[in-house]
Homo-oligomer: A and B are copies of this chain.
Amino acid sequence: MDFEEVVRKRRSIRKFRDEIFPEDKVVKALELAILAPNSSNVQTWDFHWVKAPEKKKKLVEACLSQSAARTASHLIVVTADGKAWRRSQKPLVNWVRAVNAPKIVIQYYEKLVPVTYNSGFLNIFAPLKWITFFITGLFRPIMRGPVTNRDISEVAVKSAALACENFVLAITSLGGATCMMEGFDEKRVKSLLNLNCSTRVVMVISVGYEGERGTWGPQFRLPFEQVVHIY
């Protein structure tokens, strides 16, 4: 399917029909999801595909039993963890060395990533980071963050969102339909999947085939001129 057609076809579907969407196509869409760009390529995202019927039932309840969850063939919980750079740092150092990246990039992955993505227990390093950025910023342009652990976690959430968009477009291109859900009980979802406390649930994505009255009507968007500004 042509790219523009995919984007225009994708809608948030709130009711799926009974026919099960094939698992191999979900795998394909996940493969395309993780090709999304992401902050420093540290890949702090995770995709939890809940298949076991008992667990899936509980996940539907945690999604407030909304029809987009209840009627879905598949439910994928997407999470982000600001601390997950730990699993990718070493492979990334090997990778930038293997591809002969500029020296500054190699140093970034070796030395700076552990500092950038860590503000310490109770944000103990945050004031120091903030002051450094503030003072340096008086003299020249400098990145102002991430300062707190919340900032780091937000960077991870943002990257995971990019992968989520790839995923829903991929499912659409494969003939399926999706709904990105933010209406869920994060505490119950985390306890169901045994996630650690630094992990954030970015969204739950339901997958299936569009059912009758899957949307309320045509898509609504603000006029282009209201959100695009030219300088």
Contacts and interface: CB of A to CB of B under 8 A. Distances in A.
Interface string A25-51: 000001110111101010101111111
Interface of A: 1-4, 6-8, 10, 12, 30-32, 34-37, 39, 41, 43, 45-52, 55, 61-65, 87-88, 91-92, 95-96, 98-102, 105, 137, 141-145, 150, 154-155, 157-159, 161-162, 164-166, 168-170, 173, 180, 182-188, 193, 202-203, 216-222, 224, 226-231
Contacts of A150: 150
Nearest to A184: B143
Contacts of A105: 216
Contacts of A63: 141
Given A145-B186, A187-B144, A35 B49 contact: no
Contacts of A142: 64, 185
Contacts of A226: 87
A86 to B, nearest CB: 12
Contacts of A92: 220
